[in-house]
Amino acid sequence: MSAAHSVLHAVFGYAQFRGPQQAIVSHVIGGGDALVLMPTGGGKSLCYQVPAIVRQQAGHGVAVVVSPLIALMHDQVGALHEAGVSAAYLNSTLSYEETQEVEWRLQGGDITLLYAAPERLNTPRFLGLLDDLHAQGKLSLFAIDEAHCVSQWGHDFRPEYRALTLLHERYAGVPRIALTATADALTRADIVERLQLEEARHFISSFDRPNIRYKIAEKKDVSNQLLRFIEREHEGEAGVVYCQSRKRVEELAQTLSQAGIAALPYHAGLPAEMRQQHQDRFLREDGIVMVATIAFGMGINKPDVRFVAHVDMPKNIEGYYQETGRAGRDGLPADAWMAYGLSDVVNQRRMIDESPAEEEFKQVMRGKLDALLSLAEATDCRRVRLLSYFGEQYGQPPDEDGRPLQSAARSTCGNCDNCLAPPALWDGTDAARKLLSTIYRVHEMSQLTFGAGHIMDVLRGKDTDKVRQYGHEKLSTFGIGKEYSEPQLRAVMRQLLATGALGLHKITSENSGYSFDTLSLAEGSRAVLRGEVEVQLREAVAASRSKSSKRAAKPNVAAASLGPDAQVRFINLKAWRAEVAREHNLPAYVIFHDATLAAIAERNPATLADLQGINGMGAKKLEAYGAEVLRVVGG
């Protein structure tokens, strides 16, 4: 057995490496540089933790893990301690004395993995320390976690990451492994350039998350839609609800709480202690729903998040994928649910238009938004589209060098809303042409642009004050769209905005100062008007379709297949785990995952030997908890 395998078994208690882990681990142990692209939950941590342990045992010293996730370092280090690995962190939360102690341990060669915030790499004091270690050959590797933070194209640019270039220059010869869960081609190229990883081997995994079910619904009354979704499908389970604004976060958290759901708000405007407290509760307690802005979640490695909901549309597919990826890290079934409507399209466009960025940058952002809109409007498999955005054909995962494996591409996944219940379609080509003609005529007559409401009124031949004020009832297009309902026309507009046939213009009223968005024809409108493109739309789903009754209380997903006796053992084990976690001030999953507890409950062990080989039961944990576990299942 290789050194890497013994570490995997003895320290982490896992039987096998997953996917490309083994190739990555041996490359880095051998001293090579690596760029690792792996989806959330794919198992990135082991890719540097195992090499760090193996290289330390071989006398190479400490591995430095650069991570922006300061709030999580305590738990990450705690998890390593639980597994019997010597680890520490350096960040702004430590006192002077604590920092000094870590530095002494570091100099004494007592630390295998050191987590450090990126800004440390800019301090002469820390660099001096690394210089000394390097001079003695005691720097075993650098791991750069969340590597997309180095790129301004990523959704989470951190200027401090730019300083990481110095690692290559100053510590030549020390292997570097950069890891991220999001990187389209642009971001990926940027990472390679910024971190000088030209020589690194690339390990690109399939980005598919087969256990996540994607669902995108039309937004109607979103708080109610969300409530029904949680009550029906995720009662008592942990989840994250993403909102665009702080105000919405607070309102929704309250609505959910009033409905008896254990919901907590999280956004950057809340006091730091409250944020920390809410995050701790989310990680440590069972079944908390976090209602949050995107300020929440980076690196939250809670494995049993059963759903991620977006009540507002995110900025782009990278963000959507990163956020939804926080569901189901444990590999058990999970949902990604999003509601979106015309207002989302309008808001996102406006945010881009009004941002002070360069035009070139705005163009990139618009392109990214368009890709997300076409995902939302799609009538075919969501997974196929998501993966193709990341350059992957579904069913043809790339090999470790990023080349597609030779197998047939697939066009359906069987685990998204469109695959499970193919939507009825209607041909919106005629409606789209009428809508565009109306916008054209109205502008021609009045030399003004108008909002969606007024355009629909003209098209549907409604007699309103505004129609008469502008004389729009005289237009040839007045009333030519009588047969279309407002929801249908909204769907047409969303699609036309998504495909670039329509553009938005902001108008500010001189009287009230109130501003609103108006519609105008854009580049793509010609092809639609000429009848060169078809506009296929999903049939609006009647709200009554969702009247199916509440699901019966369902057991924890990890324990779903256990018999009644094993269920009792599972529940007892969970109660015991909660106590241990509290004593150690760590999240429960750091002690044992649900899946490990379920496996113990199923095996019904009588001796320590019976516990061996259970996934997640490493040597240190067996020694520390084995006897206790036997007592708990023994009753």
| Token reading at 330 | 């444990």
Q: Which does 266 bind (CB under 5 to 8 A by kind): ligand ADP, Zn ion, none?
A: none
Q: Which does 18 bind (CB under 5 to 8 A by kind): Zn ion, ligand ADP, none?
A: ligand ADP
Residue 479 CB, shortest distance to ligand ADP, in Å, is: 56
Contact between 209 and Zn ion by CB under 5 A: the answer reads no
Range in contact with Zn ion (rule: CB under 5 A) among 188-196, 278-286, 408-416, 601-609: 408-416
418 and 380 Cβ atoms separated by less than 8 Å: yes
Q: Which residue, 43 or 461, is less far from ligand ADP as judged by CB?
A: 43
Which residues touch 589 (CB under 8 Å, ≥6 apart)?
Answer: 302, 303, 304
Burial class (CB in 10 A: 0-12, 13-18, 19+), 589: buried
Residue 43 CB, shortest distance to ligand ADP, in Å, is: 3
Contact between 212 and Zn ion by CB under 5 A: the answer reads no
Q: Which does 303 bind (CB under 5 to 8 A by kind): ligand ADP, Zn ion, none?
A: ligand ADP
Angle between helices 564-584 and 619-634 (to 10 degrees): 130
Residue 216 CB, shortest distance to Zn ion, in Å, is: 11
Residue 462 CB, shortest distance to ligand ADP, in Å, is: 52
The residues of the shown chain that bind ligand ADP, judged by CB under 6 A, are 14, 16-18, 21, 38, 40-46, 301, 303, 329, 615
Say which residue the tokens 């665009």 belong to.
244
67 and 146 Cβ atoms separated by less than 8 Å: yes
Cα 439 from Cα 48, distance rounded (Å): 57
Angle between helices 70-82 and 272-284 (to 10 degrees): 30
Half-sphere exposure of 499 (CA within 13 A, CB side): 19
Q: Which amino acid is at 385?
A: R
Contact between 336 and Zn ion by CB under 5 A: the answer reads no
Residue 306 CB, shortest distance to ligand ADP, in Å, is: 15
Residue 394 CB, shortest distance to Zn ion, in Å, is: 8
Contact between 419 and Zn ion by CB under 5 A: the answer reads yes
Q: Which does 419 bind (CB under 5 to 8 A by kind): Zn ion, ligand ADP, none?
A: Zn ion
Which residues touch 283 (CB under 8 Å, ≥6 apart)?
Answer: 75, 300, 302, 587
The number of residues that bind Zn ion (CB under 5 A) is: 5
What three-state secondary structure class fits 298?
A: coil
Q: Which residue, 245 or 411, is less far from Zn ion as judged by CB?
A: 411
Range in contact with Zn ion (rule: CB under 5 A) among 57-65, 161-169, 414-422, 589-597: 414-422
In the chain the first and final C-alpha atoms are separated, in Å, by 38
Residue 382 CB, shortest distance to Zn ion, in Å, is: 5
Range in contact with Zn ion (rule: CB under 5 A) among 96-104, 276-284, 405-413, 544-552: 405-413
Q: Which residue, 67 or 518, is less far from ligand ADP as judged by CB?
A: 67
Q: Which does 105 bind (CB under 5 to 8 A by kind): Zn ion, ligand ADP, none?
A: none
Query: Cβ–Cβ contacts within 10 Å for residue 12, how many?
Result: 22
Q: Which residue, 32 or 43, is less far from ligand ADP as judged by CB?
A: 43
Q: Which amino acid is at 288?
A: I
Q: Which residue, 250 or 400, is less far from ligand ADP as judged by CB?
A: 400
Residue 200 to residues 24, 27, 381, Cα–Cα distance (Å): 11, 10, 34
| Residue 121 DSSP code | G
Host H or E run for residue 375: helix 359-377
Residue nearest ligand ADP by beta-carbon distance: 43
Residue 397 CB, shortest distance to ligand ADP, in Å, is: 16
Which residues touch 489 (CB under 8 Å, ≥6 apart)?
Answer: 431, 435, 456, 459, 460, 481
Contact between 178 and Zn ion by CB under 5 A: the answer reads no
Query: Cβ–Cβ contacts within 10 Å for residue 606, how many?
Result: 11
Host H or E run for residue 343: helix 342-354
What three-state secondary structure class fits 390?
A: coil
Q: Which residue, 100 or 615, is less far from ligand ADP as judged by CB?
A: 615
Q: Which residue, 310 or 574, is less far from Zn ion as judged by CB?
A: 310
| Token reading at 532 | 């060169």
> 214 phi and psi, to 5 degrees?
-90, 130
Residue 485 CB, shortest distance to ligand ADP, in Å, is: 44
Window 363 to 402, contacts with Zn ion (CB under 5 A): 381, 383
Residue 209 CB, shortest distance to ligand ADP, in Å, is: 10
Q: Which does 402 bind (CB under 5 to 8 A by kind): ligand ADP, Zn ion, none?
A: none
In the complex, the residues that contact Zn ion under the rule CB under 5 A are 381, 383, 413, 416, 419
